[in-house]
Amino acid sequence: MRRRYFDHIAATPVHPDVMAAMQPFFGEKFGNPQSLHTDGQTALAGLDGAREKVAALLGAKPEEILLTSSGSESNNFAVKGIAVANQARGRHLVVSAVEHPSVLNPAKSLEKHGFRTTVVPVDRYGRVDPADVEKALTPETILVSVMMANSEVGTIEPVGEIARLCRARNVLVHTDAVAAAGSIPIDVKELDVDALSLAANQFYGPRGAAAVYVRKGVRVLPLIEGGLQEGGRRAGSEDVPAIVGLGRAAALAVERLEARRAEALPLRDRLIAELPRRVERVVLTGHPTERLPHHASFCVEFIEGEAMLLHLDMKGISVSSGSACTSKSLKVSHVLLAMGLDHALAQGSVVFSLVEGTPAEDVDHVLDVFPPIIDRLRTMSPLWTKFLQERT
């Protein structure tokens, strides 16, 4: 049975060109970039090249790119590092209700140290209203963190508009772009953000390599102290092969961004149009158009997401239900609840995310296989039986 992968939002396969770029740094180019000898400087050149490529992806300067190990580390570094470094100006943060736990949890942790957090709501599409952010600002606000795009529902947020109104109030802005970088165009100067997080494994790079853009002049304190790596802002021996892979993946994203988008959009739109037509009581989640080009997400009434995932997996189809960081728990998605969905409906979450090269026939296969799975699961659902009785 050939497997069909529709879980790009959790991890993408490492591109062959990325693997080829990494390989020498596992072997003959194994030196420590902090060493002054030729072998160390060869490794350092690999790091510097990767930094330049990530900067090019974002429209940033290489010196504004800090290399990390994951999107979660990047988010923690931005939220905690900026907040603590700038606390003399104020101790108030603003975040959205649909942020990733690696933003929400650091904000909660900061509250134990005298900071205060305001959580702004979202609409039924999971979209933040910039006016709500503006209302939440106070003279004590030092940082606003609103993600670029949501991994669970695909909605793209109006980060540029939020950043402009914050700039007028001298408030710093961070955006979690882990789900967006490499999939949609991003220019940090155009967005006017002060910090931005990304991770290689979202755009055909390896796990264990990520980055955070920090605008020149923004004060930030390190999370990991020790050596002088990353200019003293992030200690620890660098994972040179993974970082080189991040750089090559970033360069490929620059080259192939529009082609990937053009390839994914018709397949995404087919899923969005056809799935609710073939299965009744299916709700599209997220914005119908202002969403990631490779992302289609739904809630299926009277069914639990885990059951759908397992049955699809038995048919060789990989999908997700909620974010990769929470999908193993039985908790209802905080994103879907923030959008106003009730607990029962939110439990029926399923997310299809496409990878580069997904064949059209794989989407057709999903559309053929999905309805019988739902029919079978609903025969075992007392809620579905009750619904049918009430309808008649």
Bridge partner list, 282: 300
Q: How many residues belong to the chain?
A: 392
Q: Is 166 a catalytic residue?
A: no
CA dihedral 349, 162, 256, 202 (to 10 degrees): -40
CA dihedral 234, 43, 210, 350 (to 10 degrees): -150
Q: Is 298 helix (H, G, I), strand (E, B) or coil?
A: strand
Order of strands across the sheet that contains 282-284: 282-284, 295-300, 349-353
What's the token pair of residue 24?
């020498």
Task: Provide the strand spans (E) within 248-390.
Answer: 282-284, 295-300, 317-318, 349-353
Closest by CA to 48, choosing from 243, 251, 250, is 243
Q: Are 326 and 100 in contact (CB under 8 A)?
A: no
Bridge partner list, 155: 291
Report d(CA 14, CA 62) in Å as an integer.
24
Q: Are 153 and 126 in contact (CB under 8 A)?
A: yes
Annotated active-site residue in 235, 325, 344, 367 = 325
Report d(CA 201, CA 245) in Å as an integer.
10
Give the chain's count of helices (H) and strands (E). Answer: 13, 12
If one counts every other C-beta atom within 10 angstroms of the C-beta of residue 149, the result is 27
Instruction: Name the residues annotated as catalytic.
Output: 325
